[in-house]
A and B are shown apart, each in its own frame.
Chain A
Amino acid sequence: QVHLVQSGGEVKKPGASLKVSCQVSGYTFTSLGINWVRQAPGQGLEWMGWISAYNGNTNYAQKLQDRVTLTTDTSTSTAYLELRSLISDDAAMYYCATQYQLLPYWGQGTLVAVSS
């Protein structure tokens, strides 16, 4: 059973940067790929990007690739999402997710508000 625990909610001002963490337990972290997904209030799920915990390779959604960076810390089995130059449309619930033996596992979500 893979378990993902995310950092707590945040309130950010427009133009600021956001960093969300996702600590993984229950399986070898470096064997996993970590996806980040967000959901704006009342909206659907939007994939943001993926990082390999094995070698740090990344793929980003085209609309976000100029503002997003995904990283990992293998010493703590933690993945990080950084999003820069926040705008009001970035207000959302942010989720990390992975797959193990085909089964998807998701974190509990991190609520981010963007307000001046």
Chain B
Amino acid sequence: QPVLTQPPSVSRAPGQRVTISCTGSSSNIGAGYDVHWYQQLPGTAPKAVIYGNNNRPSGVPDRISGSKSGTSASLAITGLQAEDEADYYCQSYDSSLSGWVFGGGTKLTVL
């Protein structure tokens, strides 16, 4: 059972906005540890699209943003495009487990 909770799937039409939530606890997100978001296309390694809660790596469009509040974090994508269709994972650190923790992943479908 993943330590961080994400919705299993979301779907939106092209051009719309979508948010994906990631809920943790006081030993991970709520303890102040950073949240990273990964995009995973089929057959490829996860690629960071947000790191350190709200930072975009070079090359990631500014349509993608991240936020964090309390024990939760969110990934937002505006102006959805077909290329955004992928699995998205949140990741943080957990002090009780002394290691990385992940959400179960959210499959984003662009209708």
Residues of A in contact with B (beta carbons under 8 Å apart) = 35, 37, 44-47, 49-50, 59, 61-62, 95, 102-104, 106-109
Contact = CB atoms under 8 A, between A and B. Distances in A.
A50 to B, nearest CB: 6
Contact of B51 (A46, A95, A103): A103
Contacts of B55: 102-103
Contact of B52 (A44, A47, A62, A102): A102
Nearest to A62: B97
28 contacts: A35-B100, A44-B2, A44-B102, A44-B103, A44-B104, A45-B46, A45-B91, A45-B102, A46-B102, A47-B101, A49-B99, A50-B100, A59-B98, A61-B97, A102-B34, A102-B51, A102-B52, A102-B55, A103-B48, A103-B51, A103-B52, A103-B57, A104-B36, A104-B38, A104-B91, A106-B47, A107-B45, A109-B45
Contact of B46 (A49, A50, A106): A106
A13 to B, nearest CB: 25
Contacts of A104: 36, 38, 48, 51, 91
Interface string B91-111: 100000111111111000000
Overall SS of chain B's interface:
strand
A59 B47 CA distance: 24
- Give the interface centre of A45, A59, A106 by most chain B CB atoms within 10 Å: A45
Interface in B69-111: 89, 91, 97-105
Nearest to B2: A44
A37 B2 CA distance: 13
Nearest to A45: B102
A100 to B, nearest CB: 10
Contacts of B46: 45, 95, 106
Given A47-B100, A103-B57, A104-B51, 9 more contacts: A37-B100, A37-B102, A44-B89, A44-B103, A45-B91, A45-B102, A47-B99, A62-B97, A106-B45
Interface in B29-68: 34, 36, 38, 45-48, 51-52, 55, 57
Interface string B1-24: 010000000000000000000000
